[in-house]
Each structure stands twice: as C-alpha cells, then as structure tokens.
Structure 1
C-alpha cells in the first residue's frame, strides 16, 4: 500500500470545493504502483528550487498565485512544480519560433515584469503590493487582445507561456482533483457506469450543481474586484 500522510486527506486548494467528503487519494490502492508513485510525489515537492534563482522565484511565485487566484492556504505548490519541470527540461514538446526555449523565455519574461515594476514604481515586482502587481500583469493580458507586443515579443506568447505552465501544474495536483471531483487515473480500474449524471461508487455528487451566483451577478462582482485590485485604497 503506498504511503499517505494522514494530514493529506481530502485537502482542496484554500479549503474550497463542491464535492464534500471526496478524497481522490482514497482510490490510490486501485492504481498501479508507478501511477500511485507519480501522483503521491506531487504532494511532497522538493523544498529547494533548482531552476529559478531566488529573485526569479519571488517574481514567479507572485505571478502564479495571481494567475490562479491562490490567495490563501493550503495552496497547490505550483511554483515548485513549474520549477521542477523547467529544471528537468520537461516542456510541451514545442515552443513559439519567435521565442527562445521555454526555460529561457521564463527567465526573460520574469525579467520583463521586474523591469515594468521598476519603471512604474521604482521597486522590483516582488516588492510591490498585490494591487500594483495585478495591474502590471493585467497590462500584459490587455495587450494580447489586439495583438500588441510586450517588450520584444507578442504579449499573447508570454501570456500563453505563463498560463500553460500554471494550469498544467495546478490541475496535475490531487488537491485540485478533490476540488473538481476528478477521481484520478482510470487505469487499471476503469469505469463501469458511463452516462450523464451516472457515478461510480467511489465518486461523490456535487454539492450544488447549480451555480449559486447568477452569471450577471458574477460578472459584476468580478468587475468590481478587478477595479479594486487596480485602484489602491485611500488611507482614511
């Protein structure tokens, strides 16, 4: 039986989830040993980073947290997972022909964020407060909408680089699987009960299949939150 730390039961990022009681690690004994080893290894990433330098790690950590809205514990260790991929040269198998290889592109784009922060605020990116960091990142995304460049490259290229690595790392982690009710690898167990709203005995029903916040209200809420991040609060 693969080892499972007792404090890793049913954890979801920031304790948020819609599948109460669901814990993908309850199925670990149904996986083959290689699969179980790969998945469980993601729960204990190396404590020390091997690709990013300390200044780069400070920038990348804030960038990844803001992209994924990880603003509280427990966090999926996305920075460590991305660092491990880049250190091992585990890319997507391709890169844009007008960008360098992913590892160098990460170093360059983190440097661009830091340069933008120093130009705008006289401080490094990691030294800024969250609203200022969010504004700099948002400015990059805004440039993607009409094909503008950001520093030497198309802004969309840098945005794609960040979000591909961020989302791959986040959704490779068992805590994210708990959040979305994903029961993990199908091999070798397989699925016996396919169909709409059909569940296997190890799956858990969603707590509320209807979104509790109407779409229009969600849009308005996010618009106000976005504006709050871009506009520092005035001191009383």
Structure 2
C-alpha cells in the first residue's frame, strides 16, 4: 500500500499523526522462516507472567517505563500500550542480559532491584508517596534528576550507568515489539527474503512512505 503524496496522515485518538498509515508488519509474517515468525508472533499474544519483580517493584518499573517511552497509563483500545515490564521481567528471570555489566554496578538483576527501590525512596522523600502513585510530572522530575546527574553518584551508583540500565532494557523491549515496528515503518526481519530495492527512498513493494513531510516540525522532534 502506498500513501498519496500530500495526503494528510491519519491521527490516532489523542495522539500524533500516524507516520506510516495502513502499514502492518504482521502482514509480512508469511515471508519469514518458521522460527522467526514464531518468535515475533509470540510478542503480540498474552504477555509473559511476572516472575522476577515483586508486586511493588513491578509498579515502580511500570511507571518508570511508561514515562521513559511515553506510554499511556492504561490500554486505550488502540493496542499502542506495550507490556514493557513483562518483557524486561522475562529477560531478568531467565538471565538473558546483554552479557556484561558496568564494573561499578551490580549485576543487571540486582541493579534493577536496587534502582527501583532508590527511585521509590526519592519519591517518598520529595512527595510523600511512592513513585508509582506520584503524578506524571513528579515522576518525570524524579527521572530527569537522575539523568541530569551524569557521571555523579546517585544512591551510591553512577547515575549515567543507572540511566543506561533503564533505557537499554526499556528501549530493547519497546522496539522488539511489532507495534513499535509499525510506528517506525520497519518491515521486520529480511531473512530469508532479503531486499531488492537498495538506496535512499527506494522502498520494497510492501513498505509505506512516511506520511509526515521531512520539514514538518513534528517529524524533526521525534
């Protein structure tokens, strides 16, 4: 499907215009090998049960990831809310880390527990309530304070490495999901089909042009 040049992109309810309207990466699943298709399609089914985080940790981690990725608090029926914490939890429960961790940080599993507790402690100190029950702007301020510290310590840990831990796991979970692929126009695994139209702005027949002009401020800001 292609978008007519100059056509206004569709706008999701209470959200920005769709950049790739009509594109659904799952329509390409028949071109993937069986193993790849199984892995990808499993991500759109029921999310894995929480096995690593405690209920209190899950609440903090959910609010944290929602602020980092701009997710709605609840599923609004559009299917845009992704189970980020479930995906992160599955990695930690199954010890599927990046294969390394900073020398001045605990292992990723322990670092997640420690930093979620520290974030909750900051919320209690500053706002008198847990992080998960803080207002959105309060949660944002607490998270931003960690990023702003840079290489300085935060609760005895390098703030920059804490920020890296959170964003690495959150972004990996988000961009492993087909819904996020639709948002960025990614057509999924190329194996075994491959690509035949190589070059700038040369799309495959199943790809969709970006519906937002390149000079649009919305596109530049995303």
Shift of 1:196: 1.2
Please give the alpha-carbon distance, in whole angstroms, between the structure 2 residues aligned to 1:111 and 1:82. Answer: 17
Residue-by-residue CA offset, 1:178-226 (whole Å, 9 max, x unaligned): 011000000001111111111111111111232422799x59xxxxxxx
Counterpart of 2:93?
Answer: 87
Residues 114 and 124 in structure 1, CA contact (< 8 A), matched pair in contact too: yes
Counterpart of 2:49?
Answer: 48
| Cα pair distance change 1:152/1:16, threshold 3 Å | farther
| Cα pair distance change 1:41/1:35, threshold 3 Å | same
Residues 16 and 179 in structure 1, CA contact (< 8 A), matched pair in contact too: no
Counterpart of 2:66?
Answer: 65
Please give the alpha-carbon distance, in whole angstroms, between the structure 2 residues aligned to 1:45 and 1:16. Answer: 28
Shift of 1:121: 1.9
Please give the alpha-carbon distance, in whole angstroms, between the structure 1 residues aligned to 2:28 and 2:94. Answer: 29
TM-score of the two chains, using structure 2 as the length reference: 0.86
| Cα pair distance change 1:59/1:214, threshold 3 Å | closer
Counterpart of 1:201?
Answer: 205
Q: How do 1:93-172 and structure 2 match up within 5 A?
A: 93-144=99-150, 147-172=151-176
TM-score of the two chains, using structure 1 as the length reference: 0.81
Segments ≥4 residues shifted beyond 3 Å: 12-16
Residues 47 and 83 in structure 2, CA contact (< 8 A), matched pair in contact too: no
Shift of 1:98: 1.1
Counterpart of 2:3?
Answer: none
Please give the alpha-carbon distance, in whole angstroms, between the structure 2 residues aligned to 1:52 and 1:16. Answer: 35
Shift of 1:47: 5.3
The count of aligned residue pairs is 205
Secondary structure at the residue paired with 1:44?
A: coil
Q: Which runs of 5+ in 1 are unaligned?
A: 1-11, 220-236
Q: Which runs of 5+ in 2 are unaligned?
A: 1-11
Please give the alpha-carbon distance, in whole angstroms, between the structure 1 residues aligned to 2:200 and 2:32. Answer: 25
Residue-by-residue CA offset, 1:23-62 (whole Å, 9 max, x unaligned): 1011000000100000011112435311111000000000
**Larger helix proportion, structure 1 or 2?**
1
Shift of 1:138: 0.9
| Cα pair distance change 1:150/1:42, threshold 3 Å | same
| Cα pair distance change 1:183/1:49, threshold 3 Å | same
